[in-house]
Structure 1
Amino acid sequence: MKTPTTRRRVVWALSLCTIATCMAVGGALLFELSVIGYAVRDFRRDEAIAQAGIARGEPATLEERLNPPYLKQYGLDRNLYTDSHGNFSPTGADWRQWALRTKVAAIVMWLGHDPPGTWWTFAQIKCVDRFPQAHADSEPIVDVADACLGTPH
């Protein structure tokens, strides 16, 4: 038979384990959400700076206009992900290799405007993350992103 002190110790131990688990999971989620928030902000800032340079008439080659240098900072160099028609078309295999920051930049780029929120962006990334289990690696990831975003681009 357990004594009241033993029960209290078991309850405290279970409570501490539960709290530690919640903190670990919550901490990881908060970290991902902060990376997403900063990536959206940074990508939009870099895009605005590039657009402002073009608007001021700063010289830019055709290559720099089609494949802006800031995209390379996010791992989205258009030259690396072109299909047979010359379109920017990364695949499921490419998506799996990308870091979270690159995935966020791709979602913002495909969306064409700021996402409705950090949690929404997180949900879209998780939706696309489920893609490789259901489709071939050669499938253009933008098609899956369109399905997850719910809007054609």
Structure 2
Amino acid sequence: MLFELSVIGHAVSDFRLEEAIAQAGIARGEPATPEERINPPWLKQFGLDRNLYKDTHGHFSPKGADWRQWGLRTKVAAIVTWLGHDPPGTWWTYAQIECVDWFPQAHADSEPIVDVADACLGEPH
């Protein structure tokens, strides 16, 4: 468990660093296509590509089958993406990931995993 907590802490830090670097580049006027703003290239470093996980409305909506294939860093990045801000802490993030892992609907291939995450968070996003 200590290893997992360490991975989670580093993944949140890495995610925020990559996001900050990208935002600083945009602020400096570095060119970014509309696609790069919606689906930043650095997200792929975390195993996330919004184009791979779109629902019929074009929203980022991976399914249970995707969640089960993801590694811990990708799950952390997904949680941070859904929250839209830093999670309250490493232990909290670990608990959210464990909750999704344990939630029966997360094992359904077609279940939108964000719905499962919302149930674990106790609030819709």
TM-score normalized by structure 2? 0.94
The Cα of 1:151 is off from its aligned counterpart by 2.3
Paired positions, count? 124
Moved over 3 A (4+): none
For 1:111 and 1:61, the matched residues in 2 are separated by 24
For residues 35 and 113 of structure 2, the distance between their equivalents in structure 1, rounded to whole angstroms, comes to 23
Q: What is the percent sequence identity of the aligned residues?
A: 82
Paired residue for 1:101?
73
1:45 shift after superposition: 0.5
Counterpart for residue 36 of structure 1: 8
Supply the distance in 2 between the matched residues of 1:82 and 1:117 (Cα, whole angstroms). Answer: 28
Gaps of 5+ in 1: 1-28
For residues 4-83 of structure 1, what are the structure 2 equivalents within 5 Å? 29-83=1-55
Establish whether residue 142 from structure 1 lines up as the match of residue 114 from structure 2: yes
Which structure 2 residue ranges, 5 or more long, are not aligned?
A: none
Structure 2 counterpart of 1:76, one-letter code: L
In 2: Cα distance, 1:98 partner to 1:141 partner: 12
Matches within 5 A, 1:102-141: 102-131=74-103, 133-134=104-105, 136-141=108-113
CA distance in 1, matches of 2:13, 2:3: 16
Cα RMSD for the two superposed structures:
1.1
Give TM-score scaled by structure 1 length.
Answer: 0.77
Higher helix share: 1
Could you tell me how far apart the structure 2 residues matched to 1:75 and 1:114 are?
19
Amino acid at match of 2:56: S
Structure with the larger RCO, 1 or 2 (CA within 8 Å, 6+ apart): 2
Any idea what the Cα deviations from partners look like across 1:63-104, whole Å, max 9, x if unmatched? 111100011111110111111221111001100000000000
Question: What's the CA shift for 1:141?
Answer: 0.4
The one-letter amino acid paired with 2:89 is: G
User: What SS class does the counterpart of residue 43 from structure 2 fall into?
Assistant: helix
User: Contact 2:105 / 2:111 at 8 angstroms: preserved in 1?
Assistant: no
Q: Counterpart amino acid of 1:85?
A: H
